[in-house]
Amino acid sequence: MRDRTLLETYKRFLKDYSLEQLRYIPEPGVWSLCQMYDHLIIVANEYLDCAEACAEAHSMEGRGKTDFGEYLFANGGFPPEKIRLPDEMNAPPDNTKSTEELMLELDQLIIRIEKVENTVQEINPQNKVKHGGIGWMNAVEWTALVGMHFRHHLRQKYELDQRISK
């Protein structure tokens, strides 16, 4: 898994927080570290669901990405700015999990990613599933999106670290 080191780094960071720090919400509308971790894990599993769905999808040859999707993959990641989803897709993530629960979920995610990555190469790359903001992606692209999303949230993690250290 090419992004295993990244997820292991997130696990290492997680060990450094007290439960109070993990759940601290610095101001209304800003997530806690717990919520950020929960969001990353949930979204990664959704992306992996889509990667697996590509095995059963029909060929979408000629169906491409949005301009944002093209930008994302050309640059290998999200732009260095906050992205706000529409309110109906932006419910606050769970802020009640413990370090141990998040650690277990990260371990399970790593195992799942490795399993999915071992099968995506066999899926026809023309079989695609649509992402609302990125466009049509094949299984390999969906799995790559997991790492891109985790890297994108490193900036948010750094900002939250600054707030809890004050």
| Tally of domains within the chain | 1
Q: How far is CA 58 from CA 14, 87, 127, in A?
A: 40, 31, 5
Structure tokens at 132: 């609302």
- The secondary structure of 53-69 as a DSSP string is HTTTSPB-TT--B-HHH
**Close Cβ partners of 31 (under 8 Å, ≥ 6 residues apart):** 25, 39, 92, 93, 95, 156, 160
| pTM beyond 0.85 | yes
Q: Which of 87-91, 97-101, 150-154 shows the lowest per-residue confidence on average (mean pLDDT)?
A: 87-91
Question: Which band of pLDDT confidence, cut at 50, 70 and 90, is reported for residue 154?
Answer: very high
Taking residue 32's Cβ as centre, other Cβ atoms within 10 Å add up to 22
pLDDT digit string, tens, across residues 125-137: 999 999 999 999 9
Domain that holds residue 138: 4-79+97-164
Is 79 within 8 Å of 71 (Cβ atoms)?
A: yes
**The pLDDT value given to residue 2:** 67
**The pLDDT value given to residue 46:** 96
Does residue 88 lie within any of the structural domains? no
Does residue 60 lie within any of the structural domains? yes
Sign of the dihedral defined by the CA atoms of residues 49, 51, 56, 57, in that order = positive
Beta bridge partners of 135: 65, 131
Spatial CA neighbour of 50 closest among 147, 165, 150, 137: 137
Residue 34 has pLDDT above 60, yes or no: yes
Does residue 90 lie within any of the structural domains? no
Q: Tell me, what CATH number does 12's domain have?
A: 1.20.120.450
Q: What mean pLDDT do residues 11-32 have?
A: 94
**Close Cβ partners of 35 (under 8 Å, ≥ 6 residues apart):** 25, 92, 93, 94, 95
Does residue 126 lie within any of the structural domains? yes
Residue 114 has pLDDT above 90, yes or no: yes
